[in-house]
């Protein structure tokens, strides 16, 4: 007897395994497109993953491992057709900060184990958020905070790589620590290292700016030229490795990558020491949310170009699975990378299978190419990082926010300053807290406009901005905010203060068109206001109360105790209370 597999359960399967949807339509053409994209992304990803592992303070091979199984996991669970997952700069920096907080030495087995554990915790957090649909939490990171954080992180990363370019020792978490340490070691500069590093930086910048026009001039199609230019880092790696081999850079004091174990990723497990978990948990939350935000932005941008949709809560599951995959295969925290996803998209990736094919490419590299990397100078990797992250640095956000909104400016400036001074975790946490506080502060002192009738219409506007009709016995106030605990007292005080000056007023009508919530604290303030106005011989009325707010008020005694009425429209209130057609209202602005 066949068990009846019900449709809803297939739907649920498809929700959690998007591969079932696109996999069913997979054909030869898609395979070709995906494979081409995979080859190009693989070439781009090899030097990046080595470099970012070093940035995270980990052995280079962990970068390769983090670019294999996590990509396969994302291909199964992810909803974006173009997102390329793997180690990225900002998350690598945050990994170094988080594991550094434990007081572990870079390069030790404990340090690597902590990074694996961080990937595991981050994966578990992302999965939990996905299953409980908590993706909205990422919305509390405002655009200015993200922009400030990325800019500051880019600067810290670039500064952190300067030591590799100079061939000196330097330590520290935040920018100023690092720079101080760097300057004190400047005397130890290794000139060959500096030459390799500086030449690589110059070459990579030229590749970004000059190679594409050159290739186009040589007759290549612009898109192909663009993609080839992305392979620049591989060129730098190949050339400097050859030079290093030929001229014995190692013997001249140049730091090289050295032995990178050859083979597929090992099977690993995180530690289950609860003390370590406790110390890493806060960092894991930050890494998860930052990684998710970065990833979802690029995924949504690319999906929109092809009129596709992604499912944010399922993206959490996809990224969570990727990080768990990283933890069991010797990797460290991963997320969707901006630059490589754009390359993947431009190169023609049609489905997440492109990611799985990239994983095969990186696995082949881990199996076959690692011995060739022995002589690769770390200065070359540092150069690829510097060139990559400097494109993240965008001080334009300071100017844009300054013009538009001082609150947004304060959030971005504080995030940049605190990230540079105290490091990534403090910077982003303080930025989020500040942007929430500024929003609450603004709503705690709301704009309250006295309004009058725009002649010839039934529409009411601010008497200070428009020529409008008002009535001497009627005070019309538009409350431009939700009424809740943070502003309940302010609004009550404002209205009582306002009435101190105005003797002839008999009716106060509060226009509630902008009031979406009245919480219990505000309700108590309104009750008090109603009593106080009654004592002064003034009636309190409401107008344009919205459905959901009215539903709630009807559960209380407020509407019975209210001395005035509730009007559907403000015009209705004015018609009923201020005889618009009787005693002529004055034109307020005249």
Point out which residues bind a second copy (CB under 8 A): 136, 139-145, 304, 400-401, 403-405, 407-408, 435-436, 439-447, 449, 454, 457-459, 461-462, 464-465, 480-482, 484-490, 513-517, 519-521, 523-524, 528, 532, 544, 546-548, 552, 555-556, 568-569, 571-572
> Please, what is the minimum distance in Å from the beta carbon of residue 444 to a second copy?
6
> Please, what is the minimum distance in Å from the beta carbon of residue 462 to a second copy?
5
> Please, what is the minimum distance in Å from the beta carbon of residue 520 to a second copy?
4
In whole angstroms, give the CA distance from residue 235 to residue 376. 12
- Strands 448-453 and 335-336, sheet pairing: unpaired
In whole angstroms, give the CA distance from residue 201 to residue 194. 10
> Please, what is the minimum distance in Å from the beta carbon of residue 127 to a second copy?
21
> Please, what is the minimum distance in Å from the beta carbon of residue 536 to a second copy?
9
Closer residue to a second copy (CB): 128 or 462 = 462
Closer residue to a second copy (CB): 268 or 487 = 487
Closer residue to a second copy (CB): 399 or 584 = 399
For 48-64, b/e burial (b = at least 16 CB within 10 A) is bbbbbbbbbbbbbbbbb
Tell which residue, 460, 466, 464, 469, has the closest CA to residue 581: 469
Token look-up 């330097």 returns 170
Q: How many CB atoms lie within 10 A of CB 439?
A: 14
> Please, what is the minimum distance in Å from the beta carbon of residue 309 to a second copy?
8
Q: Give the pair of three-digit tokens for residue 27.
A: 């054909």
In whole angstroms, give the CA distance from residue 341 to residue 264. 24
Closer residue to a second copy (CB): 228 or 477 = 477
Q: ∠ CA(528), CA(572), CA(536), 5° rounding?
A: 30
> Please, what is the minimum distance in Å from the beta carbon of residue 563 to a second copy?
17
- Classify 518 as helix, strand or coil: strand
DSSP string, 153-193: HHHHHHHHHHHHHHT-----SSHHHHHHHHHHTGGG--HHH
> Please, what is the minimum distance in Å from the beta carbon of residue 136 to a second copy?
6
Tell the burial category of 557 from Cβ atoms under 10 Å away from its Cβ (0-12, 13-18, 19+): exposed
In whole angstroms, give the CA distance from residue 67 to residue 46. 9
Closer residue to a second copy (CB): 501 or 555 = 555
Closer residue to a second copy (CB): 106 or 565 = 565
In whole angstroms, give the CA distance from residue 514 to residue 316. 34
> Please, what is the minimum distance in Å from the beta carbon of residue 189 to a second copy?
42
> Please, what is the minimum distance in Å from the beta carbon of residue 206 to a second copy?
33
DSSP string, 119-139: HHHHHHHHHHHHHTT-GGGGG
Closer residue to a second copy (CB): 169 or 458 = 458
Closer residue to a second copy (CB): 369 or 514 = 514
Closer residue to a second copy (CB): 33 or 462 = 462
Where are the strands (E) in 527-571, listed by range?
539-543, 566-567
Closer residue to a second copy (CB): 357 or 484 = 484
In whole angstroms, give the CA distance from residue 279 to residue 285. 11
Can you give 409-475 as a three-state secondary structure string?
Answer: HHHHHHHHHHHHHHCHHHHHHHHHHHHHHHHHHHHHCCCEEEEEECCCCCCEEECCCCCCEEECCEE
Closer residue to a second copy (CB): 377 or 585 = 585
């Amino acid at each position: 007897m066949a068990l009846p597999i019900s449709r809803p359960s297939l739907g649920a399967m498809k929700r959690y395994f998007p591969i079932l949807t696109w996999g069913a339509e997979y054909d030869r053409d898609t395979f070709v497109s995906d494979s081409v994209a995979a080859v190009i992304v693989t070439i781009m990803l090899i030097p990046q993953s080595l470099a970012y592992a070093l940035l995270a303070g980990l052995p280079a091979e962990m970068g390769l491992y983090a670019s294999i199984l996590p990509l396969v996991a994302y291909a199964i669970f992810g909803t974006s057709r173009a997102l390329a997952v793997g180690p990225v700069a900002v998350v690598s920096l945050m990994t170094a900060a988080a594991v550094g907080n434990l007081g572990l030495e870079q390069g030790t087995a404990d340090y690597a184990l902590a990074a694996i554990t961080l990937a595991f915790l981050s994966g578990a957090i992302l999965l939990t958020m996905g299953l409980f649909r908590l993706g909205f939490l990422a919305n509390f990171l405002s655009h200015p905070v993200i922009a400030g954080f990325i800019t500051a992180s880019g600067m810290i990363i670039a500064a952190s790589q300067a030591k590799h370019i100079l061939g000196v020792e330097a330590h520290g978490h935040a920018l100023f620590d690092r720079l101080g340490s760097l300057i004190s070691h400047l005397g130890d500069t290794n000139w060959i290292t500096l030459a390799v590093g500086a030449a690589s930086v110059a070459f990579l910048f030229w590749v970004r700016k000059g190679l594409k026009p050159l290739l186009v001039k040589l007759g290549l199609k612009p898109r192909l030229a663009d993609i080839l230019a992305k392979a620049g880092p591989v060129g730098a790696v190949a050339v400097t490795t050859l030079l290093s081999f030929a001229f014995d850079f190692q013997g001249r004091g140049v730091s090289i990558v050295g032995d990178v174990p050859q083979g597929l990723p090992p099977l690993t497990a995180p530690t289950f020491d609860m003390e370590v978990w406790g110390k890493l948990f806060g960092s894991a939350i930050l890494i998860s949310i930052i990684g998710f935000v970065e990833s979802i932005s690029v995924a949504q941008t690319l999906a929109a170009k092809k009129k596709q949709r992604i499912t944010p809560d399922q993206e959490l599951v996809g990224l969570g699975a990727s990080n768990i995959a990283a933890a069991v295969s010797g990797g460290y925290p991963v997320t969707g990378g901006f630059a490589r996803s754009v390359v993947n998209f431009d190169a023609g990736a049609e489905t997440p299978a492109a990611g799985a094919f990239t994983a095969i490419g990186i696995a082949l590299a881990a199996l076959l190419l690692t011995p060739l990397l022995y002589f690769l100078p770390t200065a070359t990797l540092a150069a690829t990082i510097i060139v990559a992250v400097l494109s993240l640095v965008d001080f334009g956000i300071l100017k844009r926010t300054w013009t538009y909104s001082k609150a947004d400016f304060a959030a971005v400036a504080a995030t940049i300053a605190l990230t540079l001074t105290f490091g990534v975790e403090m910077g982003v946490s303080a930025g989020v807290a500040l942007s929430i506080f500024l929003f609450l502060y603004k709503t705690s002192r709301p704009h309250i406009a006295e309004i009058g009738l725009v002649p010839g219409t039934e529409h009411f506007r601010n008497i200070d901005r428009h020529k409008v009709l008002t009535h001497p016995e009627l005070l019309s106030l538009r409350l431009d905010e939700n009424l809740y605990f943070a502003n309940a007292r302010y609004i009550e005080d404002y209205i009582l203060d306002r009435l101190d000056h105005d003797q002839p007023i008999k009716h106060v009508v509060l226009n509630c068109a902008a009031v979406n919530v009245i919480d219990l604290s505000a309700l108590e303030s309104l009750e008090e206001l109603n009593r106080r106005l009654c004592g002064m011989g003034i009636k309190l009325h409401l107008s344009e109360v919205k459905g959901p707010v009215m539903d709630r008020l009807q559960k209380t005694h407020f509407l019975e105790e209210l001395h005035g009425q509730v009007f559907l429209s403000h015009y209705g209130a004015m018609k009923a209370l201020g005889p618009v057609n009787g005693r002529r209202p004055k034109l307020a602005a005249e």
